[in-house]
Amino acid sequence: MSVVKSLSVGNGDMFYIKHNVDSFTIIDCCLPDDIRTTLINEIVREKEGKGIVRFLSTHPDEDHIYGLTALDDEIGIVNFYCVNNETTKEEETDDFKRYCRLRDSEKSFSLEKGCSRKWLNSSDDERQGAGITILWPDPTNQTYKDALAAAKAGEGPNNISPIIKYSLNGGATILWMGDLEQEFMENIKNDVDLPKVNVLFAPHHGRKTGTLPTEWLELMSPDIIVMGEAPSEDLDYASYDEFNKITQNSAGDILFDCIDNKVHIYVSNEEYTVDFLDYDQTVANNYYIGTLNLGS
């Protein structure tokens, strides 16, 4: 069993994976001041007993690194993953400075398409890999090089985001795309190999500015698309109309309990419901909204 949780943090992103092996992964960081202590305490509690704790950063926009300093001070990040970049900002917050310090330190490992890393995606006699694969970026791709140059010039780092796949052996496949933007994805759509996906976190929080290419949606055929937290008027419901969706604005925290060939799904808003999931009578929890059965 593994648990993937998307935390409700306002207009930002933060996730963690409590793996079914000796690993705990945090993806991005957004710690609003009013719930910062609560969220950090949850991370500390949930990582307990895991020998490897890693932080994956999609890109250093403030809504993805807010509170990074406090998190690092509390847990001491020793495995920091990001793309190789030289992003600059006209105004450097303390959290951006901490990002740069971690990025440029010996604790950092660079993410790129097909990269191999002990215990991230490879196993040895000591422990198993965590099932995380990087599908993008390709550092030789000119469109990506242009995105790196734009981030270095202070123009914004959305399009340096990696594509991260988590796959449970015999179970769910879950995908993150950071804040990749529509035009950028259209320009690289023939350069990325995408799998069938069970849960897709829509890029750029599900905004219209991050609408996925039709070709990618056809390849991934996601069972569920998670629309992130953003103003409702900015979310692109229409382009994902034919897909089952969970909207974090309404659902709150979303927890995916991945067990073999099924995923039990819970949300923090007990009034939230969907009509596309199966019901498992063995699950007893007021916050359970249904089960995604993956088949044999």
Smallest CA-to-CA distance from 171 within 284, 40, 4 is with 4
> What does the pLDDT read at residue 170?
74
Residues 38-66: b if buried by 16+ CB within 10 A, e if exposed: ebbeebeebbeebebbbbbbbbbbbbbbb
- Structure-token pair, residue 280: 């498992």
Series of mean pLDDT values for 10-residue runs along the chain (296 residues) = 96 96 98 98 98 98 98 98 98 98 98 97 96 98 98 98 92 97 98 98 97 97 96 93 97 96 96 96 89 86
> What does the pLDDT read at residue 1?
86
In the chain, beta strands by DSSP E: 2-6, 15-18, 23-27, 29-30, 52-56, 66, 80-82, 108-110, 132-136, 163-167, 173-176, 199-201, 224-227, 245-247, 254-259, 262-267, 288-293
* CATH number, residue 113: 3.60.15.10
- Is this prediction's pTM over 0.85? yes
> What does the pLDDT read at residue 225?
98
Residue 160 structural domain: 2-293
* Residues whose CB falls within 8 Å of the CB of residue 56, separated by 6 or more in sequence, listed in order: 25, 26, 27, 28, 81, 82, 111, 132, 164
Smallest CA-to-CA distance from 5 within 22, 25, 21, 33 is with 25
User: What domain count does the chain have?
Assistant: 1
